[in-house]
């Protein structure tokens, strides 16, 4: 055994690890510096920067642009000419959302004047759902500024938790976690012991937010979503069944004059036990999907059209295959 080579390999790994850590630290420092600079500006000025920045950057990224345009044309039943202006508005929205996320420390600092940035429509529905003492499954999607949805609810005094996906960039993950914690959110990360933490949050009568518009992979629930058969995550239905929790739609969108946001709280609905658990979960997830779709269709520029929502094809979904076999 060549111990010299092993030592060199170990040293190389440590060097690469240190270089990676340094890169993450540098990126974090840069983003944090940008955040501090933006937080010194007026909100209107920050939005103006984001509104210009979004299209400038995203129009140059061919794959995300083409994916968003294609999904928009299918999902909204539009021609290319009809979809192009909405795509422009979508990129403006994403630019504003990005700078708003960096503006979160200012939002938190001005929590006594939260309504300047965020107002809540029908908060009594959420209060009533929490009063049932079974926790609340918060149904939401990548629409509006979803980071400020959680922050807004937490800053308004609602006990809010969420399951967050780890970002490809560790610096962004670290910054988002700091901002979420700063606003009062409890965060559980997917890929670890988040299910245990999420279950504890529900047992403690808190709101557990689900971004339920993600692709559900091969084990997901087959649903119709924006004119396509899609694989849906089943988390909201599973938690609603297990803990008898009401599902409450929670969505955020921009005010028409771009002066801030409105959080919409929908009417709660529930898991209905017919004795067929699989069918009951599938039916409830189709209801959840319909709630998300209805809101997206009301505010189409604000949904995340660039995401790979239809990653899983129908023939890859195991439950779709079984349903198809049953029909045959």
What's the maximum distance between 2 C-alpha atoms anywhere in the chain? 70
Q: Is the pTM of this model over 0.85?
A: yes
CB 151 within 8 A of CB 180: yes
Percent of the chain with pLDDT over 70: 88
Residue with tokens 């440590």: 14
Q: How confident is the model at residue 167 (pLDDT cuts 50, 70, 90)?
A: confident
Q: Where in 150-243 does DSSP place strands (E)?
A: 160-164, 186-189, 207-211, 221-225, 228-232
Whole-angstrom distance, CA of residue 297 vs CA of residue 76? 8
Residue 5 has pLDDT above 60, yes or no: no
Q: Is the dihedral of CA 162, 230, 144, 244 positive or negative?
A: negative
Percent of the chain with pLDDT over 90: 80
Residue 128 has pLDDT above 70, yes or no: yes
Determine how β-strand 221-225 pairs with β-strand 228-232: antiparallel
Residue 65 has pLDDT above 60, yes or no: yes
- Choose the most confident range, by mean pLDDT, from 24-38, 107-121, 168-182, 194-208: 107-121
Q: How confident is the model at residue 193 (pLDDT cuts 50, 70, 90)?
A: low
Strand partners, 250: 265
Q: Quick: pLDDT tens for 104-125.
A: 999 999 999 999 999 999 999 9
Determine how β-strand 160-164 pairs with β-strand 186-189: parallel
Residue 8 has pLDDT above 80, yes or no: no
CB 198 within 8 A of CB 208: yes
**C-alpha distances out from residue 48 to 38, 45, 129, 191, 259, Å:** 12, 5, 38, 37, 11
Beta-carbon-side half-sphere exposure of residue 180 (alpha carbons within 13 Å): 21
Whole-angstrom distance, CA of residue 286 vs CA of residue 43? 38
Which residues are CB-neighbours of 270 under 8 A, at least 6 positions away?
A: 240, 244, 246, 247
Report how far apart the first and last C-alpha atoms of the chain are (Å, whole number): 61
Selected residue with higher pLDDT from 16 and 322: 322
Whole-angstrom distance, CA of residue 217 vs CA of residue 299? 26
Whole-angstrom distance, CA of residue 68 vs CA of residue 84? 10
Residue 325 has pLDDT above 60, yes or no: no
Q: What's residue 162's pLDDT?
A: 80
């Amino acid at each position: 055994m060549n111990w010299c080579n092993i030592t060199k390999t170990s040293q190389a790994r440590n060097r690469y690890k240190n270089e990676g850590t340094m890169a993450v630290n540098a990126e974090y420092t840069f983003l944090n510096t940008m955040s501090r600079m933006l937080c010194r500006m007026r909100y209107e000025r920050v939005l103006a920067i984001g509104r210009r920045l979004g299209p400038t950057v995203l129009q140059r990224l061919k794959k995300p642009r083409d994916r968003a345009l294609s999904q928009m044309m299918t999902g909204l039943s539009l021609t290319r000419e009809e979809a192009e202006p909405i795509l422009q508005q979508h990129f403006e929205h994403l630019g504003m959302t990005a700078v708003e996320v960096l503006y979160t420390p200012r939002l938190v600092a001005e929590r006594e004047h939260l309504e300047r940035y965020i107002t809540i429509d029908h908060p009594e529905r959420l209060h009533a759902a929490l009063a049932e003492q079974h926790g609340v499954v918060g149904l939401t999607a990548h629409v509006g500024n979803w980071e400020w949805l959680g922050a807004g609810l937490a800053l308004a005094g609602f006990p809010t938790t969420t399951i967050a996906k780890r970002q490809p960039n560790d610096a962004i993950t670290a910054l988002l976690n700091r901002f979420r914690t700063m606003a009062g959110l409890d965060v559980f990360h997917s890929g670890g012991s988040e299910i245990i933490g999420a279950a504890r949050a529900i047992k403690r009568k808190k709101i557990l937010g689900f971004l339920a518009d993600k692709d559900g992979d091969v084990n997901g629930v087959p649903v119709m979503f924006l004119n396509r058969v899609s694989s849906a995550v089943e988390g909201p239905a599973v938690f609603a069944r297990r803990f008898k929790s009401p599902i409450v739609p929670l969505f955020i969108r921009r005010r028409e004059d771009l002066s801030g946001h409105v959080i919409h709280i929908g009417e709660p609905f529930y898991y209905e036990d017919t004795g067929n658990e699989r069918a009951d979960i599938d039916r409830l997830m189709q209801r959840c999907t319909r709630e998300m779709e209805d809101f997206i269709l009301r505010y189409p520029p604000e949904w995340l059209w660039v995401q790979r929502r239809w990653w899983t094809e129908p023939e890859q979904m195991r439950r779709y295959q079984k349903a198809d076999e049953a029909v045959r």
